[in-house]
Amino acid sequence: MEAITAKKPEKQKPKPKSGRFFKIALQQRYLYLMSLPFVIWVFVFSYLPLWGWTMAFQNFRPGRSFFDQTWVGFDHFIALFSDDRFFLALRNTLAMSFMGLIAGFTVPIILAILINEVRQQVFKRFVQTVSYLPHFVSWVVVAGIVTKMLSTENGAVNDLLMFLGVIDTPYQFMAKGNWFWSIVTAADVWKESGWNAIIYLAAIAGIGPELYEAAKVDGASRIQQIWHVTIPGIRTTIIVLLIMSIGHLVSIGFEKQFLLSNNLVREYAEVLDLYALNYGLGMGRFSYGTAINMFNSVVSILLLFIANGTFKRITKESIM
């Protein structure tokens, strides 16, 4: 967070006495007026839900005051950790996030490198424009498109596979649980790769041309130039983004899973957030749902710290 929060060198200023503090505060009244309302805003909508975690330790009943709730300690967590469905949800979450991490991490890098190698400017711009496009389309639309493409009735994928003679009859992709993870990952790659490649393209653009010149003088082929100049040149960017995505490993959301799943693939589609939604809101078990959410958030933060710490030790680079 240091990288984001403290960028400019602080001006040297003597420790103000309290009288001076208020004098400056009065001078900066417009700055306070422009920021404090939003600070309160953030407090209400981002910090109060953290206070809501207390629900996980109660048998929360809506409509009662905080002091009238029954406290149950870790009962909900004990129930959670002995529920088979929780472990299924955890498995699904981890499986999809690992697949997403690997694919969603490598494909944009490769795409950026490939786009960078194109020297025909019109084609380059066209590919880029097209590749960002799906990022701006909602998951609802993407889910509709994916369902259509994989459909057994004139779906493009089945048509293509039958044309190539790989299969004889249309395959029911959307009804097969063991395909679900791959479908979600592929949909994600389709939607976000072009967009995520922008950052890498920017990083590649920052590499000095003299490095390529030197590599060429040494007789490096194009592939060798990529390997020895381009990739080392974007290493920092790669590491920072990797740490951030590891931090989000278990908080992958549930939009894709919610929209792409159906009853036939439920066992492979229910991720932690969806599990919390089904139990917490669907069945009105708010405390139990909160326990799931809390588990999710705490694990994310731990993963972020672990990833950050590990990379710091290995590469001396970090995001915090």
Partner 1 sequence: MNRTFARASWSDRVFDISVYVILAIVTVVTLYPFLNVLAISFNNSTDTVRGGITIWPREFTLENYRVIFSFPSLLTGFQISILRTVVGTFLGLASAAMLAYTLSRVDFQGRRYISVFLAITMYVSGGLIPVYILIRDLGMMNSFAVYVLPGLVSAFNVFIIRSFMDGLPYALQESAKLDGANDWTIFWRIILPLCKPALATIALFLAVGQWNAWLDTYLYNGSNASLTTLQFELMKVIQSTTTGNSGGDYRSQNMSQVMNRVSPESVKMAITIVVTVPILVVYPFLQGYFVKGMTLGAVKS
Task: Tell which positions 55-74 bind partner 1, by CB under 8 A.
Answer: 55, 60, 62
Does 48 interact with partner 1 (rule: CB under 8 A)?
yes
Closest separation between CB of residue 4 and partner 1, Å?
Answer: 6
Q: Which amino acid is at 172?
A: Q
Query: Is 23 near partner 1 (CB under 8 A)?
Result: no
Burial 251-277 (b: 16+ CB within 10 A, else e): bbebebbbbbbeeebbbbbbbbbbbbb
211-250 binders of partner 1 (CB under 8 A): 212, 216, 221-223, 237, 240, 244, 247
Residue 49 makes contact with partner 1 by CB under 8 A: yes
Q: Between residues 50 and 102, which has the closer beta carbon with respect to partner 1?
A: 50
∠ CA 243-247-250 to the nearest 5 degrees?
Answer: 140
Q: Which 3 state secondary structure label does DSSP give 69?
A: coil
d(CA 161, CA 265): 22
Residue 285: closest CA among 44, 81, 56, 51? 56
- Answer yes or no whether residue 164 interacts with partner 1 by CB under 8 A: no
| Residues of span 258-277 touching partner 1 by CB under 8 A | 259, 262-264, 273, 276-277
**Judged by CB under 8 A, which of 12, 73, 122, 136 binds partner 1?**
136
Which is nearest to 118 in space by CA: 210, 222, 220, 195?
222
Count CB atoms within 10 A of the CB of residue 20: 11
Query: Rounded to 5 degrees, what are φ and ψ at 234?
Result: -110, 15
Q: Which one of the spans 69-77, 88-96, 98-106, 129-137 is the region binding partner 1 (CB under 8 A)? A: 129-137
Phi, psi values for residue 316, rounded to 5°: 60, 30
Helices marked H in 206-254 — which ranges?
A: 209-217, 222-225, 231-233, 235-247
* Binds partner 1 (CB under 8 A): choice among 100, 104, 233, 280: 280
Q: Of the candidates 70, 138, 310, 315, which one interacts with partner 1 according to CB under 8 A?
A: 138
Contact status: 283 vs partner 1 (CB under 8 A): no
State which of positions 101-120 bind partner 1 (CB under 8 A). 111, 114-115, 117-119
CB of 269 to partner 1, least distance (A): 12
Closest CB to partner 1 among 96 and 271?
Answer: 271
Minimum CB separation from partner 1 for residue 111, in Å? 7
Q: In this chain, which of 72, 198, 242, 299 binds partner 1, going by CB under 8 A? A: 198
| CA quadruple 160, 163, 168, 170: dihedral sign | positive
Give the range of 70-78, 96-104, 136-144, 309-317 binding partner 1 by CB under 8 A.
136-144
The first and second tokens of residue 116, run together, are 């960078």
- The correct pick among 77, 91, 94, 144 for binding partner 1 (CB under 8 A) is 144
Candidates 102, 141, 283, 302; binder of partner 1 (CB under 8 A) is: 141
Residues 270, 252: contact at Cβ < 8 Å?
A: no
Instruction: Please tell me whether residue 274 adopts helix, strand or coil conformation.
Output: helix
